[in-house]
Amino acid sequence: MEKQNSIFRWVVFASVLFTYLLMSSQRTAPGLITDQLMNDFHVSAATIGLLASMQFFVYTGLQIPMGLLADRFGPNFFLIIGAILTGLGTIMYSLSTHEFVLLLARIITGLGDATIWVNMVLILSQWFKPKEFTHLIGVTAMTGSLGFLLATVPFSILIDLLGWRAAFLSTGTLLCLCGILLFVVLIKKPKQLFIDERTDLEPKIEREKTSVLLRRICMNRQAWSLFLCHFGIVGTYVGFIGSWAVPYGMSMYGMTRIDASQLILIGLIGALIGAPLASWISSRLEMIKRPYIVVHIIIVLSWSSIFLSKGHPPLSLLPLLFFIIGLAYGANALTFAAVRQTFPVMEAGIASGFANTGGFLSAVLLPSLFGKVLDFFQLSGSLTEGYHYGFIIPVIFSLLGLVGVLTMKEKQQLPKVIAVSKR
């Protein structure tokens, strides 16, 4: 295919990844202003938890439908619309005057965010040869974590300089401009350069009905084991840093917003290291289950140590705990390595979506449940106890993940794995 040899494919790659970087940053950026939202809108911690959960809820529910739509109609249109929807949702968030508008803004942002991964992978598969694609998809996956990094200290500084409304307004505007850029790069320019080629992905094979595949997956013990693996490792990290990590540092340790966001930064550095490290160890040992069990035990011990120290471990230990939790989160790539190893090719996509649903379901539940615990104890005037007992939620979630990995099956011989985490 001619466009897979063109220099223009790198323009496509850069444009798509820059858009993904900005879109992924808006998953956790609202967690930086939790205290300001509670003061400005006079809302409870449970309401803030609901706001933090809503984007993940929408994202989770649309993964399989988005894959079907992209496969049928092509990925370009949906990625463009997704960038614009994320931008409009972010702009609406910055202009909100009522908590209902905040909720609606997060729903719109979630609709846009749900388009990014599936469509981005399909677009890159059009523009790059298989060998190039294998290398670049790893870079693409890491861009999501870099987006989380962008939503820590850099975005905190922007909030302190401009105020939270102006910071979100400028980001939303930039995302809308990215949508226009993608239209030019993905549709308009390719029509001029490649007149005889389609710019969208054409379905090449007939697939089994989704309802049949879903029924079979839902009856599969391995699928549920991987669902629980992802439930215990993803939501405990993404759900917490996207909602309560910054107010936790500010409330329990008297940190400034920038200092508290540095804790998230440390965790995200761990996540960036965790994915390739877990893949390398798994490949060297030629197994998935045993190293993944170790990862889940570590994550259970980390959350348990925070809970057992009454939510207030020594300040010198806190950065290490965040780093270890982030490192374990990066190892969630092993979930998809296990999917590829134990499911047929025709079922691997839906099995991956099923497992990924578990991860983001926990990311939906944790902020809201944590907020309800804080509200309960805040009524008695003890926010410290609220954080203490709130940490029992990630402990329980991570224990469920440990159950999942213990019941997971794997083949005796593991081919060399290039593990890529979906975000």
147, exposed or middle or buried, with CB in 10 Å at 0-12, 13-18, 19+?
A: buried
Give me the pLDDT at residue 203, please: 45
Give me the pLDDT at residue 421, please: 45
pTM for this structure? 0.69
Q: What is the distance between the alpha carbons of residues 49 and 367, in angstroms, rounded to a whole number?
A: 5
51, exposed or middle or buried, with CB in 10 Å at 0-12, 13-18, 19+?
A: buried
Gyration radius of the chain over CA positions: 21
Give me the pLDDT at residue 62, please: 83
What are the chain's domains?
1-204 (1.20.1250.20), 206-423 (1.20.1250.20)
pLDDT (tens place) for every residue of the chain, 423 residues total: 477 778 888 999 999 999 999 998 888 788 788 778 888 888 777 777 777 777 777 887 887 777 667 766 778 898 999 999 999 999 999 998 888 888 899 999 989 988 887 778 778 777 887 666 655 655 676 777 788 778 877 888 888 898 889 999 999 999 999 999 999 998 888 877 766 555 444 444 455 566 777 778 788 899 899 999 989 998 888 888 767 888 888 888 888 877 887 887 888 888 888 877 777 787 778 788 999 999 999 999 999 999 999 888 998 899 999 999 988 888 887 887 787 678 775 665 577 777 877 887 888 788 888 888 888 887 776 778 888 898 999 999 999 999 999 999 887 544 444 444 445
Q: Residue 303 contacts by C-beta under 8 Å, 6 or more apart in sequence? A: 236, 325, 391, 394, 395, 398
Q: Measuring CA to CA, which residue among 34, 109, 32 is closest to residue 264?
A: 32
Place of tokens 């990995």: 405
Find out whether 172 and 29 touch, Cβ atoms under 8 Å: no
* Single-letter amino acid, residue 53: S
